[in-house]
């Protein structure tokens, strides 16, 4: 059965994630990370896209994207992953050995308020949370490094946000996230449910035809059957 088309209308910001198959390494050396950034830059020319935040990790990557039009998110991510896969196989001489990604990218819509700050902080804090660096802005292959050192090579990648970027953003990224916030974010990553206030989540899930992502997992419990009254 063919997969259902992903509902991703323009105007929403989305957290996007893709992982290597079997969680094998996607990036083994600095040149691998730099090669992906070149593909990301080329993807912006193929499908115009506003990149709000991103980070490349050894076996996966995150992006926060703000597409202009309907269908742009899927077109952009499809071109990005396909082109990166082809060049990865060509570089490592592994063409014909299978996919490097575990499947389609995962994505969920994000409300354009404090929830967007939470998602961008979650993305840019990843290398720190994984103990890859002592400071999040020291990780070269992420948007926080570019905010501090300049968004130049291989060309500009970042776009202005729909909400003001705080002057103390670097310090905010380093502030610990609460377990409740992390669990809510991880739930959206796992299930693809919109991330925002409860009322916004419900409206957005209905618009994106993803109301099922807000429902509890598993089959609904059957109502208890009352025993018959004694005769």
DSSP-assigned states of every residue in 143-180: HHHHHHH-S-SSS--B---SSPPPTTHHHHHHSPPPHH
Assign 7 to helix, strand or coil.
coil
- What's the pLDDT tens digit per position in 109-139? 999 999 999 999 999 999 999 999 999 999 9
- Computed over every residue of the chain, the mean pLDDT equals 91
Lowest mean pLDDT among 18-22, 65-69, 222-226: 222-226
From start to end of 6-163, where are the E strands?
Answer: 13-19, 50-57, 60-66, 106-110
Each domain of the chain, given as residue ranges in start order, spans 13-214
- In sequence order, the 6+-apart residues with CB closer than 8 A to the CB of 50 are 65, 66, 67, 68, 159, 160
Which residue in the block uniquely carries the two structure tokens 């996919």?
Answer: 99
| 192-223 per-residue burial string, b: 16 or more CB within 10 A, e: under 16 | bbbbbeeebbeebbeebebeebbeeeeeeeee
pLDDT at 1 over 50: no
CA pair distance 9, 57, nearest whole angstrom? 27
- In this prediction, residue 2 has a pLDDT band, given cuts at 50, 70 and 90, of very low
DSSP secondary structure letter of residue 206: H
DSSP secondary structure letter of residue 212: G
65 strand-pairing partners = 14, 51
pTM: predicted TM-score of the whole model, two decimal places: 0.89
- What's the pLDDT tens digit per position in 134-179? 999 999 999 999 999 999 888 999 999 999 999 999 999 999 889 9
- The answer to whether residues 185 and 118 touch, using CB atoms and an 8 Å cutoff, is yes
CATH code of domain 13-214: 3.30.70.1290
């Amino acid at each position: 059965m063919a997969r259902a088309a992903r509902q991703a209308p323009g105007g929403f910001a989305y957290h996007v994630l893709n992982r290597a198959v079997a969680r094998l390494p996607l990036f083994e050396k600095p040149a691998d990370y730099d090669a992906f950034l070149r593909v990301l830059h080329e993807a912006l020319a193929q499908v115009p896209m506003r990149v709000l935040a991103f980070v490349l990790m050894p076996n996966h990557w995150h992006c926060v994207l703000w597409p202009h039009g309907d269908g742009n998110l899927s077109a952009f991510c499809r071109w990005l992953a396909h082109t990166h896969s082809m060049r990865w196989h060509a570089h490592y001489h592994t063409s014909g050995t299978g996919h490097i990604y575990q499947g389609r990218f995962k994505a969920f819509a994000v409300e354009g308020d404090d929830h967007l700050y939470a998602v961008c902080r979650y993305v840019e804090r990843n290398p720190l949370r994984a103990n890859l660096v002592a400071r999040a802005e020291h990780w070269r292959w992420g948007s926080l490094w570019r905010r501090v050192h300049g968004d130049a090579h291989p060309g500009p990648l970042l776009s202005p946000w729909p909400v003001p970027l705080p002057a103390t953003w670097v310090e905010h990224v380093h502030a610990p996230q609460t377990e409740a916030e992390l669990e809510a974010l991880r739930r959206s990553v796992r299930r693809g449910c919109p991330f925002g206030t409860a009322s916004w989540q419900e409206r957005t899930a209905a618009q994106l035809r993803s109301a099922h992502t807000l429902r509890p997992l598993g089959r609904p419990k059957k109502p208890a059957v009352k025993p018959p009254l004694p005769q």
